[in-house]
Amino acid sequence: MNIVVEGERATGYRDGVAAGWVDFEVRDSVARLYHTEVLPTMRNTGAGTELVVGVLEWFRDNTDYRIVGVCPFVPVVIRRHPEFLELTTR
């Protein structure tokens, strides 16, 4: 999934079509991911997990921020993908 970050929203595109977004805020080098939304046409396709993984990859590759998953889906994805655990403690 291709992730485009504008302001405090990361939008995920699958095959050029918007699949959903993650809203976040950054304070004191901590990114709080507080809302994940997947478009109805993309639900039950794995797009939500793919979106959150893409956003976590973007933060890992482009920032030094620590991640806090306020949205309850984010910690679920991190548990399923422990390679992102380091983002919660850095």
Q: What's 65's DSSP letter?
A: P
Q: What is the pLDDT of residue 33?
A: 98
3 state DSSP class of 53: helix
DSSP 8-state class, residue 76:
H
Domain with 24 in it: what CATH number? 3.40.630.30
Residue 64: domain span: 2-88
Do the Cβ atoms of 79 and 55 come closer than 8 Å? no
- Check residue 55 and give its pLDDT: 98
User: In the structure, what pLDDT confidence band is assigned to residue 44 with cuts at 50, 70 and 90?
Assistant: very high
pTM of the predicted protein model: 0.95
* Structural domains counted in the chain: 1
The tokens describing 34, both together, are: 């507080």
Q: What is the pLDDT of residues 11-41, one digit of tens each?
A: 999 999 999 999 999 999 999 999 999 999 9
- Mark residue 37 as left, alpha or beta (left: phi above 0; alpha: psi -120 to 50; beta: remaining): beta
d(CA 31, CA 63): 10
